[in-house]
Structure 1
Amino acid sequence: MNESGAGAVAPMSREGIDHALGHLRDEKERISSALLDLEGHDGTRLLKGARLAGETWRRWEDARTGIALVWRLYDAYQRVLAEASELRERHGRPSPAVLLELTGLLTGESVEVPGGEIPLERRTLLGAASERITLDEAVERMSAGYATAAEVIAAADTAWTALLVPLEDVEESWRETALLAQDLDGARHPELDRLGRELSAVGHVARTDPLSLVRDDKVDTARLDRLREAMAALRASLDEAVRLRDGHAERLAEVAASIGEVEEAERQAREARTTATIKIAAVRVPEPPSLGGGLRHRLADLDALREAGRWAELAARLAELDRAAAAALERARDNLGLSTGLLDRRGELRGRLEAYRAKAARLGFAEDEGLTELYARARELLWSAPCDLRGSTAAVARYQDAIKNCESQDQSRTESGR
């Protein structure tokens, strides 16, 4: 008879025993299935096969120890259940003593905890030397150990899923880019080397300690994302270098044409400023800078790179020159707009003055002496060189206001006559 510590516990009925055994057998199968699924999980296989470090190593060591304990506790649980099942099968009509023993096995502290030796200071003279728990308590402990291990395994699997495929994509991109750089000019590429070192460091962390990259249940892929963007930018620059190598004459001609546009815009800006200075009083348009000549010298300096076949460097320098030319062109056009804007303003005022004169004639005020004087003053200002834009603007406004006043007075007289 198993001395399981049933003591004075009332024995269960035969029906109760059979019901409990059926439930426990079903529970045992579910536990076994869950533990086997945990062992066969992709995350478990990855953790077992990887060379782990840091937080992931620490958590997996704890989880692995917990899993081993769960299996050992499961074996002890299973032995008690097997003992109870065998005892029940031997006694078709169990006696009260057998029912009491079965009750002790199923509800008493019948499971010896593996490695559960009670410390000497906690033992009693007649007490057990090792810890014993009930089947239900064994299930609770197995469930807790399973949950802890499953959490670590799922977290590692999620982290690796988020990291490994993108990492391999970036690594493949780096290898392809390295081959392209080697084929392009055979020289070492500092940026490619730097990205390679950074990628190696990120890859080591991703493969050995993925859990260190989990923040608030989310995988931090920021470093990997930055590497992907940097690799894409570098690949684009090297692709441009290949296109330059295969069609450098056309590319150089394009940049030269852009510089030509800058020079032409700067010439127009200087001419427009000269004209504005002559025709508009108190002009404060700054002297346009001459950037086109410097850009053309920079373009000529690139011949040495082309002759040396340093296509990657040439492509980068040409891209810089292209951007500088675009900025210089925008600046030249802004300067041109400053000068032409003054002349356009004068032309606008002239058009408005003549439109107001036509309106005055249409209203019958063509012979009005006051309006004639105001018109003459505004016209004199607008057609003088240099033109006082501020004074002209005020004169045109006075002429417009005077026409409105005449129109208002005329309407008042008409209404009074009625």
Structure 2
Amino acid sequence: MVITLNPNKQVIPEQIDQLLADWKTRLDLASQNMLALQGLTTYQRLAGEAGFSKTQLTGTTAVQVAAALDAMNQVFQHFDLLLATINRAAELRKQFPRFLGSDQKYQEVEALLLGQSIHLSVVQVPLAQRSLLSAAETTCTVTPDNLLAMMTLTFETARDTILAIDVAWSRLEPILCQVEAEIQALQQQANALGVKDLTNLKVVQQTIASLRDQVTTDPLGVKDEFEQQIQPLIERVKDSLNQVLQQHNQIQDELAIAHALLQNLTELNQQTHTAYAESLEKVTDHSGLQPPLSADHLDALCQWLSRLETRFAEGLVNPIQVGLENWTAKVKAAIAIEQCAVTANRHPLETRRELRGRLEALKAKALARGRAEDPMLAALSIQAKQLLYTRPTDLAKAIELVTQYEKHLNNR
């Protein structure tokens, strides 16, 4: 707790003693923190103290360190002024009479502790700013409290600079090594993806090589350039490669779908072949049949897909996407044609089987009605069965016979 004295009241020794005790505590703390900062290896390297050669600095680090060291020199100078003032007040306090107080001595101590008692500098007053009775120079004075506040701000500014350099020196080298490893990984990923334009990576590699040489002399400048230049470039490379990777994954998925479509078409083509050949053999009317796609057509689609895969392996992306879209459209159209052909070619066979089943059902119905021996039904049954179980079958005639059988059965 800091004690302040009221000039309108009589000063008592206890108040002065409390002020002096407070100042002793504050000065001890200030001294400890100043020496702690001065004891840092980084500070000693920058200042050329404790057996270290002064580090030769460049760039923004040189500017900031010069200001920080000047600030610390100022803090030490002001500390000496402050310490001398407080010590002088303490000596005066020892001179207080034991029993009878001395207002004059109390006021002298009070003036030292609370007044503008510390002379900081003498400033020349320009002639243009002087009046007839003005002095040629003026002295800048402050109270101990104000000087301590100034010292605190100055110390914190210098401390922040020194610690920033300490962090930069300890972390920059590992960070640069990590980035180089990351660049190598990105290079390998780019090679795997077939990406050849790696201008940004080359710029990063060249810049890092240059920055590594500057870590000792300009760590703050290296830190700024790394954060403002290197990191954004690396992020752009990552984004670019991620886009390419997504395209590659998409194309791989589309190629897998393409193979599935081709397999589907191949199976449909085989089914069309089978149904077409069977219908040619088993029915007489071939007008509704549709021939399957030729082997040359399928081979052309296979070769086209193979060429797309080869170019994809060579690193082409955009042309492959367009080619796959065109190929997929062609295959889907071919699948639609083959599906229609399978349906058309199977229809006569399904009709033939349906007529056989229908005839057997009608014969069972005739038997149930006791008309199995009906001459007309028997004759129609023999003719229809002969047609339906003979190759090729005249479906039109078979339909006619089965229909007549059904009508005759239902007439009575």
Higher relative contact order (CA 8 A, sep 6+): 1
Length-normalised TM-score, structure 2: 0.49
- Max radius of gyration: which structure? 2
Length-normalised TM-score, structure 1: 0.49
